[in-house]
Structure 1
Amino acid sequence: MTTVALDVTGTGWVTTFQDLGRRGTERRGVPTGGAADQHSATVANLLAGNPRDATLVESLGGELALVPDADILLAVTGAPARVTVGGAPASGWSPVVVPAGQEIRVRPDMGRGTRVYLAVNGTLATRTLLGSAAPDARMGFGQTVTAGSRVLLDTEFRGFGRQSFEPPLFRLPVPVARFDDDPWVVDVVAAHGVRAIPGIRDVIEGATYVVTPRSDHVGLRLDGPVRHPDDDTEIVSHGVPVGSLQIPHADELIVLGRYRSLTAGYPIVGVASRASLPLLGQAGPGRRLRFRWIDRETSLRRVARREAEVDRLGRAVAGAFGALGFTPFASPLPGH
């Protein structure tokens, strides 16, 4: 095991350590948290030879840049981005070797997504809270990565005898996320609260919604048509899934994110399919969204298909790296 120093020379607007979030903490009132785009975070870790839930870096907007003092293996995923190593173009959604002293720079195309993920083979030295590196500002656990800082990494990577994967050394079956449509289409399964607002399904499916600047890590606030219950009966607050569509008293639609808590007494009319959650994690102000109602069985099939793609990638990476004499970490079964 070697300890490598990563000098951070540039960050996005908000750059943090992340993972897939906490397990079993919501019963204690602590949100799961974790990467907004769980698919991109998972794939980045697998491409870097890490367990899928390893700590990595999530960067929102701006340009992320760092310089290692030894050769490292990494992968960049998430929003479409311009990636360079030592000034030369490199591929996103692919393993990349960054030689010692060379700077890797990542600039996302903010018109097509908001967050990029950078996973480095090995273990990043970070603090944890309740078993996770995911930040939680409300609990004073920021986990911010700043320009000028130095991040330490423990890794067993010694190189492949080749300094770059350009052109790619392997043809890996990478399930690359697509962010080209406009508006983005989000699949939704109806929730019990849909019965309290007659006609709300037609209203939502027939409209285009726009993400407003008031959105944050708790939820996306969407400008667009809504319909409210016929009476002001307060709903008992209760826990809700990530991706819940909530209708508050204001004329807006809220899609709750990974840092949501309770319903606050507002009706939940639907829940975004898990297969659509990565899109919501990449949606920034001005992004246009449309919702499409699907049944639970269809949602489960799409999730299973995506998970099968990720599992196939993990096996392919292990085989490809093993052929070069490098054994990546085992990828645990999904726990989220």
Structure 2
Amino acid sequence: MDQINHSVRILEVSQENAQQRIDNFLRLHLKGVPKSMIYRIIRKGEVRVNKKRIKPDYKLKSGDLVRIPPVRVAQENVLPSPKLNKVASLEHAIVYEDDALIVLNKPSGIAVHGGSGLDFGAIEGLRALRPDARFLELVHRLDKDTSGCLLIAKKRSMLRALHEQLRNKTMHKQYLALVKGAWDKKWRSVTEPLLKNAQNSIVKVSPQGKPSETRFRIMQRYQNATLIEACPMTGRTHQIRVHTACKGHNIACDDRYGDDDFTNEMKTVGLNRLFLHALHITFYHPNLEKELTITSPLSEELSSILDKLKKS
């Protein structure tokens, strides 16, 4: 059930929030409000900074006074019990942790956050496991059925630093995907523009879409399948899945962009999930003052599938 905040709020920006974009600031203070509504109230001038209209990319300064209008806010989800098996298993899925950052080897089948009929996601599960953590926020996202490296910031300063790396394209992600057929080695880079349907989130190649690039490398050829490395240079929704599908090399067991015959063939060898895994993530750690590469190993399920396939 939704609740309405009936009063205008005036919030003073702290030093910790300085340099944060106003749209991201509002998303933290308007939990449950769709992004589209946040941009709408900014565009209509209902959000003001120091009594002036601003744009969504306005960067806040310490001492700014932000006017937040009354909006309909979804009631905050009650955190799941840390004793639930799915929640408890997240503790064992942590591949790196320090005082500012968690890197989770997110299991396939768990969304990054709750909502849309889901009881909870990875972020709610981690908050349940870390009840004393004052700040836990997703740095980026992975599709529900994709597994692998997921960054969660434990400090706002770390969130800001990593978001800047994402914007500047200095953070690098490497995925493994099992695709249909013999991947053509000439497809080292796929740059088709991608357009997302706002109603159903289906993404397609379109001249009206956003510029997109994924770089590919062949890791292993199998009979009727290829294991490829995919490195997204841009961060579009379903980017790797659509860029492989548009070349006729659909990812195994992709329920949106897959090939039914290939999916059925993979199911006969025991694959019951999307074969897309975020294997490595490389970024600069500002606290350690060095570049880190974190690896989330393939699950036993995916490794056993590869063992069953015949190499070509």
TM-score, normalization by structure 2:
0.30
Which is helix-richer, 1 or 2? 2
Q: Which has the higher contact order (CA 8 A, sep 6+)?
A: 1
